[in-house]
Amino acid sequence: MAETVLFIIFGIFALAGAVIMVWARNPVYSAMGLMLTMFSIAVFYVSNSAHFVAAVQVIIYAGAVMTLFLFVIMLIGVDKAENRSENLPVQRPLALTLIVLFGAGVVVAGRLAWTTGVRNPLNPVNGTVEAIGNELFRRWLLPFEITALLLIVAAAGAIALALFTDDDDVEVDA
Amino acid sequence: MTVTPGWYMALAAVLFVIGTGGILLRRNALVMFMSVELMLNAVNLTFVAAGRQLNVLDGQVAVFFVMVVAAAEVVVGLAIIVAVFRRRQTASVDELSELRG
């Protein structure tokens, strides 16, 4: 019962946040809408007993990623009036048609079966830090190490993008 | 009325579709980028719900990896947006359509 109430309330929040994100004229409002959606999804994680993932969602997404987005929005400037006219002639009607078709396809596929595969007969999953750690550092150790490498490469790439100026002949001495 | 994982997946599908709409309808590179994040979040919710349905922890581990990749993607993507903005003074993808460097 409690889960139903939570689902309805935060489902509305999540959808409202997503629509605000797409609709808002001001990118700051878009970021706020996305933040609302991410918090609602964290609540859904908790109701699906994914406690560790919920904490990571709030810290990484709603915290770090959205702060980064807001930094860049402030850097680029929010007061610019965005031109909302569309240059491609049939882009908007075509996009809306495709969105509706895609949504209908997903719903039709979901009515057949939301999940396939064999249900594990063991205890219900409980995403505690201990359970996730056991899984992550045993079966998924190599992928875990590779993501560390990926993060270092991404950080180095971001620094390289920010460091070199766009004048082709002048390069900043690093 | 109990909430089944199918409900979460249906909600995630709707969120994913809204994110697709953001990509297709908006012309601000930042908002398009946020739409990508929304789509990634929707898929993460699907992973968690499916993992609960099948009683396996792999869904939550997959979410963990998706989050790491998304963080790396945000870092590089926002750096590219800032680099493009410094050069062209715009974040609108329509004005960047010439591909002439």
ipTM of model: 0.89
Tell me, which fold does domain B5-92 have in CATH? Helix Hairpins (1.10.287)
**Share of residues in chain B with pLDDT > 70 (%):** 94
Which band of pLDDT confidence, cut at 50, 70 and 90, is reported for residue B90? confident
Residue B95 distance to chain A (closest CA, Å): 10
Please name the member of B6, B8, B27 whose beta carbon is closest to the beta carbon of A44.
B8
C-alpha distances out from residue A95 to A91, B22, B27, Å? 6, 10, 13
Over its length of 174 residues, how does chain A's per-residue pLDDT go in tens digits?
888 999 999 999 999 999 999 988 888 999 999 999 999 999 999 999 899 999 999 999 888 899 999 999 888 876 665 666 666 778 888 888 988 898 888 878 877 777 777 777 777 778 888 989 988 899 999 999 999 999 999 999 999 988 876 555 444 444
C-alpha distances out from residue A150 to A59, A132, A153, B32, Å? 20, 21, 5, 23
Average pLDDT, chain B: 87
CB pairs under 8 A between A and B: 232
Q: φ, ψ for residue A81 (rounded to 5)?
A: -75, 125
Q: Which residues of B touch A8 (CB under 8 A)?
A: none
Please name the member of A22, A38, A124 whose beta carbon is closest to the beta carbon of B21.
A22
Closest to A37 in 3D by CA, of B10, B26, B17, B38? B38
End-to-end CA distance of chain A: 60
